[in-house]
Each structure stands twice: as C-alpha cells, then as structure tokens.
Structure 1
Amino acid sequence: MGHDTLVAKLWTYIAMLKPSRQHARAHQCFLGLTNTTCPTRPIRFKAKKKKKKKKKKKKKKKKKKKKKKKKKKKKKKKKKKKKKKKKKKKKKKKKKKKKKKKKKKKKR
C-alpha cells in the first residue's frame, strides 16, 4: 500500500467519525501512527448518559420541600403556644373575678 492510498484511507475514515472526534483522531493518525490504530471503518461509542447528576438535582429539590414543611410545623407550634397562653390568661382572669366576687359577698 502506497503512502497516498494510506493517507486517502485515513481521511475517509476520519470523515466518517463524529465531528467532535475528527480533530483528535486526525492528530493521532498523522503523527506517524499507521492504520492499525485508525481502521478503515470507524468504531462508534455511545455517549454515556449523565443520569447521576439529574438524580442529585431531584434529591436537592426534595430536601428543600422538607425544609418548607418543617417551617410550617414550627409556625403551627407557635400558633398553638399562643392559643395556650391566651387560654391560660383567660382562666386566670376568670379566677380573679371569682375571687373578687367571693370577697364582696363576704363583706356584705
């Protein structure tokens, strides 16, 4: 095989590759490498899908939702505490009124 035919075969092989791989493979082939590393038919590798990153994003979203729920619970607890305090105040006021009435009755 002559030099020209080898070069022609390499160029046809490179042309068959994905555009993103053509530049790097041309460098490999023409830096003195033979067609043993650059076969006449390309071997195409499927690009790996990046699923892991998507899963991580979903997890982060779930965490945010949980935080919101916690805040709501805290607000509810605060409301309950306020209600309890109000009830206690009302009870104290009622007791004071009853005591005053008893004292007035005794004085009479």
Structure 2
Amino acid sequence: MKSLILLSIIIALSVSSGEAKDLIVGTTYNTRLTWQQKAEYMAIPFKKRVKEVFYNDPAQQIIRGIVARDIDHSDAIATITSGGVGSTYANIRLKSARGSSLNYQIEIYV
C-alpha cells in the first residue's frame, strides 16, 4: 500500500513539472485581438535569457486581456512589469530557466 501511494506521488510530481507557465490576465471573451508578437531567444549554456516586450496602443484603447503562451512548455516565466489590463500600454518581462531557450507568443486584446 505504501509503495502504491509513493508511486502515485512520483507520477503526480512528474506530470506537474512539465506544465507550461502561461500568463493569462483579463479576458479574451468578446474582445478583439489587436496585437501579437512572437518573442524568442536561443539558449546559452548556464545563462538565463531575459526579454522585455513593450506594447503601446496609438489609438489609446484600453487593454482588456493579455495572453503570453509558452510555446516550448519550458520553465520560463512571464510577468507584467507595468501597465496591463485597464491601461493603454503593457510591459511584459520574459525570463527563461538557466540554460534554456525562450519562446513565447504574446497577444493583446482590447
């Protein structure tokens, strides 16, 4: 019985460690996609890759949703450093795991 519990814990941990860390803020329902960009960096051994993505709407429309999808399903992290939902601009910081590449699809909805 103990080995069965231990085996199920190991399986659960291995499945959950392979999940992507997508950033989804706001809503995409009943909105319009106004901007998308692919952000990618190649891997460099022993280094973390960081990329800043900036969006500013020239029509001054309010952002209703932001989606940053991790295409490679890596351990990279996406965060909004300023602006975002409720603003007309957004700054998104992407940071890869050490020695890994960075590959994100970023979408802004108004």
TM-score by length of 1: 0.23
Between Structure 1 and Structure 2, which shows a larger proportion of helix residues?
1
* Higher radius of gyration, 1 or 2: 1
Greater relative contact order (CA < 8 Å, ≥ 6 in sequence): 2
TM-score by length of 2: 0.23
